[in-house]
Amino acid sequence: MWPRKSAQSLRERATELAAEAEHSAQVRALSTHPDVVALQVERVRSQVNRLMWTGIVLGMAFCMTNVQEFGAEATEAEEWSPGWWAAWLLDPMVSLVLIAVVLAEQTTSRWQLATPAWARRARWATLGATYAMNTWKAWGALDPGQILLHSVPPLVVFVATEAAPEIRDRLTAAVKAAAADSGDGPVTVAEAAVAAGIAAADPTVVEAAEPQEAAALEDAAEPRGLPVAGGERWEREELLSADPVVRVEQVKDLIRGGLVPSVELTGSQVGAIFGQSARTGRRDIEEAERQLGMAQGESTVDQDRSAGMSTDLEHDGSSAALVLVGPDRGVTLGVGA
């Protein structure tokens, strides 16, 4: 009886473990689903926004009375006089401009778009003015305690407004990384170019310069991504972890390959390929264009790019041909020599 009961309990235990394993697999699959990750990231984004704005508003509210006192003393206005009341407008006048810029950056960083240079200048100018007016009296008295007390709130506001756009940018990158890890994202650089809107899904096939090269490409057993590291395919994880040098080389391939005839690449498009911000994408494009300009001259590069032609003689060989691969890896969408 004992051996029979023992075997039966083992089977029951095995059945329970199998059910638990299946349940755990389902929970894990759901928890790592791109839509679930996106929802979790949005919740975190909302919490970050609330905390950031709370700190910014409290910091500016603390500075308001000090700025009003500075304005009233500077104008020698008596208490409750019109000049004294007008001094209360000084801090809101500066703070509202700062809030407008931060609100704009809250949206642009959400979609990984860079704001104009004047946006940062406006933030720095308004925060610098607030800091100067808030600490003027303390610096005049050279009181370390007062200097520290009146310096902390403006500095907290400054750090928050500088960090918030980058944090929102990386939260968006986390959503894209989750989609890539799930297999729903692009796999190769060429597929990423199509997904980012850089290349059309059905590009025109460009005839090879030599018949031998065209025959060699047609006989290829496996389609390839953009030629890098000996023509090997790049997995999406490798694109997301590519270092700046490799990214620039890939951007040069995109430019020289004529994937977008007569259309300039944008920082947002390149950033979407490598899971970077639009600002980083623009830097990669500028560096790639600079290197191509050093090699052949900016005018030549621009003309060739407008014509959708390759500008690198070594890149024009059969080993450097471009093959765009669509979502179905078995279908070659286009070949450019």
Best mean pLDDT range from 108-122, 259-273, 307-321: 108-122
Structural contact between residues 321 and 208, judged by C-beta atoms closer than 8 angstroms: yes
136: part of which helix (H) or strand (E)?
Answer: helix 117-141
Q: Which of 267, 316, 309, 271 minimizes the C-alpha distance to 170? A: 271
Which residues have C-beta within 8 Å of that of residue 274, sequence separation ≥ 6? 192, 239, 240, 242, 247, 250, 280, 281, 284
pLDDT of 144 higher than 80: yes
Percent pLDDT > 90 in the chain is 31
pLDDT at 25: 77
pTM: 0.51
DSSP bridge pairs for 334:
324
| φ/ψ (deg, to 5) at 218 | -65, -30
Structural contact between residues 97 and 122, judged by C-beta atoms closer than 8 angstroms: yes
User: Over the stretch 123-143, which tens digit does the pLDDT of each residue have?
Assistant: 999 999 999 999 999 999 999
Rounded CA separation 19/296 (Å):
64
Question: Which whole number is the average pLDDT over 179-205?
Answer: 54
User: Over the stretch 73-110, which tens digit does the pLDDT of each residue have?
Assistant: 998 898 899 999 999 999 999 999 999 999 999 999 88
User: Over the stretch 243-278, which tens digit does the pLDDT of each residue have?
Assistant: 888 888 888 877 776 554 445 677 777 777 777 777
Structural contact between residues 264 and 253, judged by C-beta atoms closer than 8 angstroms: no
With b for 16 or more beta-carbon neighbours within 10 A and e for fewer, the 290-323 pattern comes to: eebeeeeeeeebeebbeebebbbeebbebebbbb
HSE, side-chain direction, 13 A CA sphere, residue 56: 23
Percent pLDDT > 70 in the chain is 65
